[in-house]
Each structure stands twice: as C-alpha cells, then as structure tokens.
Structure 1
Amino acid sequence: MNRIFWAADSTVQTNDYTTYPQTGIGQVFPLFIKPEYQVRNHAKNGRSTKSFMDEGRLKAIEERIGAGDFLFIQFGHNDEKKEDPTRYTEPFSTYMENLETFIRVAKDRSAYPVLITPLERRCFMDEKHLGIGAHSDYVAAMKQTAEKNNVPLVDLYSMSRMELKKAGEKNCRRWYMFFPEGEYKNHPEKSEDNTHLRYDGAVNFASLIARGLRELGGIYADMLLDDMNL
C-alpha cells in the first residue's frame, strides 16, 4: 500500500469532536484517492517548519516513511509569525533551508516529496476584493525551493485565492470557521475565524490539491480516483 505522509499545520490536521466543526484538508483527502493509498496525517495546529522539526515531528515521519511513499509538505501560516521566535523563519533563508530538510528526508528514503503552497486566508478588503495576502513571500520562497531542488509543487495559494474571489466574501464564510452564535452545539459561541476550515472548505481545498496533482501527471495523478471531474 502506498502511503501519503503529510507535514503541515492546522489547515491540514485531522480533528476530532473536541474541535468540531473544524476540519483539516488532510482529514478529507482520502475522499479523492484510490483505496490502495493511505494518508498518514502528521499535520498539527500551530506548527511552522521550524517548530515541526524542533518537536521531533519530522523525525517521526523519517522513521516511518519508505520507498514509494509520498511526503506532502505544506507550511507558511506560522513561519510568518515574527513575534514568536519558536516558530518564525525568514522566507528566503531559514524557511527555504527547512523545506530542503523535509525534501532530503523524503529523498533519502526513496520517497517522493511534494511542496504545497499555504492556503490563503479570508482576507477580503470588501465584498469582492481580496487583500495582497500574508503568505506571498513564503509562496515565492517555496516556488524557488521547488525549482532549485527539482521537486513538484502544487500552488494551493493561487488556486485558493481564485476560489475565494469567485465565491465572494459572504459565500466563502461556509468554508471557514466563520459562523453565528448557536449554530453548533459543540461550539456555541460566535466565530469569525478566517484561517481554519469547516468540512465544506476542507473538501473544496482538498479538491484543488487533487487538481494540482492531476496536472502534474504520472505517479501523482495515479493516486487519484479515475472518475473525478476536477
């Protein structure tokens, strides 16, 4: 059985009822792949490339990943937190260096690394227009890293911005933890969280990753269900 290991942050992590209705992309990605592929989701809330490694989470993947497996690497949200030295990385230096460490772990185990640019937040300036976005330098740095290391890249950042623009400020609220008081028994308080996802958002953005993998072709497209219209 081929395995997909995922190293990422809260936009990808697998949630349980204690954080419901929050849902991560990695949690729903099995909806898009053939049954002979299995997702091993190591994504964790609040982690950057730096803190993920410092906590031994990459080491845990290194001990398990093997030939023919995939390592999906998706960071940026927390690497940009300048106020937190335990997580912050400079986009065109330490962030790129850390990404290369993840890539080496995969390649040293004869696995296939895939870089995935960070998901965009709901950063609307008005009902229709998005702001510049907080991740732009990290997206550029990840693209440079992919090119330098000859590693495939799925540009979730650009695709998600297009989806947000198409939906508009109000319609895309259903994708994020943005809802009124009393909508959920387990989360009765109002939420205006523009980063974390609900189920519809996780499925929508996971489908964009699947689309990107299909465009890469070869072994990346082979993991996807055959009858999907992406």
Structure 2
Amino acid sequence: MSSSHLTPALTASTATQRRRGAPWRQPLTGLGLLLALVILALWWTSRTPIVDLGSDNQMHNSGVYSEWAKGAVIVLIRHAERCDRSHNRCLGDPSGITLEGSQAASDVGNGIQRLGLNNAQVLSSPEVRTQQTAHFMFGKAIASEDWLKQCDKGFADAAFKHKRADHNLVLVTHSGCIDHLERQLNVPSGERSSAYASALFVSMGSNGKARILGQMNANEWRKLVASAGM
C-alpha cells in the first residue's frame, strides 16, 4: 500500500486526538481547578468580618462584656464630626469638631463609662478634633500621645504594645489609624470603614493575638444604654 493511501487516515486520527486533547492535560486541568478552590477557601476563611454591636445581645454574644470584665479590650474611637468637612455649627476652633459631633461624643462616652473605667487607660491623639472628642466623652482633658496620630503601618503594633495586662485601653484616634489596624487583622476592604465617633472593639488574648469583636456606631449607644439598663 502506498503512503498516499495512509495519509488521509493518519490525518483523521491526528485531528481526533487534537479535538480530544492530550490525555495528560485533563488531570492537570482538574488539579489546577482544585488548587484554585483551596486558595479561594483559605482566603475566605482568613477574612475578618465586622460585627455590628448595636444591641445588647450582640454585645453579649461577641464577648465584649466578658472580655471587658477581664481587662482584655482595646477600643479605638474615631473623633467626632470635624468642622472643616461639615456645614454644621462649629464649637469654635475650625480644626475641631462640630456641636453635633460633641453630642455624639457625649453619647459614646456615656456608654464607655457605663462599661466601667476602673481598669481602663484612656489616651487621645493630640489633634484638636480628637482632644475635643475625648473631652466631651469623659468630661475632662485626656492625656495625648503623638503615636495616636501616626496613621501608618506601625500603628497597630504601637497600639498592641501600649495595652497593659488586665487593663482595657481606650484610644481616641483617626479613621486612617483604625484602617491600618483593620488591615493588619485581615478585614476586607469593603468593611474597613469607621464613621464619626464609631468605636471598634478589639480583644487581646493572653497569647498576644488580637481579634476584632465588633464595631459600634455613635447613634447606637443611647439605644443600647437604655435597653441594657447600663
């Protein structure tokens, strides 16, 4: 039989193999898909969602009350509404907060004080807006430290280092600083936000590991205090 008669058959067989694909490619494709699913699952489980603490049940279930009683909590509070980004009436200093912001700060402070400050340290950023917020929260001037306005990658570690054993730590700071801490604790970008005078609760374990308990917005404190009988 001449080679000319074999050519069509060989050509058809080769085309069939090409359509089916090389046999070794199919296992590799399945392995790649499995690996992608594993990576996606690991990424998903590593995310830290932010729990809304706007109810007494959530405060209990998240562990805020029990962790606070142990002195294991860091609370990061963003300053209240700032004058230079609002049309609301200002307290006076244009770099400070508004009158409306001062009322929100008072509500937050009332809630924090009802949790108990006997085993707590309170610090504030030295900026006017944070100092005013802290003053309206606690009715007095609060000690300030410069690191609380250094909103960079080192902020989270600085906050953890300032946490004393068996003492809660209340920090009045800025949204950028809170964002950096949330980044370090793997909070997804879509959940990294802090409204004026909102409070982010973080628990520090005995092993030095931090975990986010949840976040409370300023307008939820008054309702919580009333419902919980705090």
TM-score (norm: length of structure 1): 0.27
TM-score (norm: length of structure 2): 0.27
Q: Which has the larger radius of gyration?
A: 2
Which structure has the higher relative contact order (CA within 8 Å, separation 6+)? 2
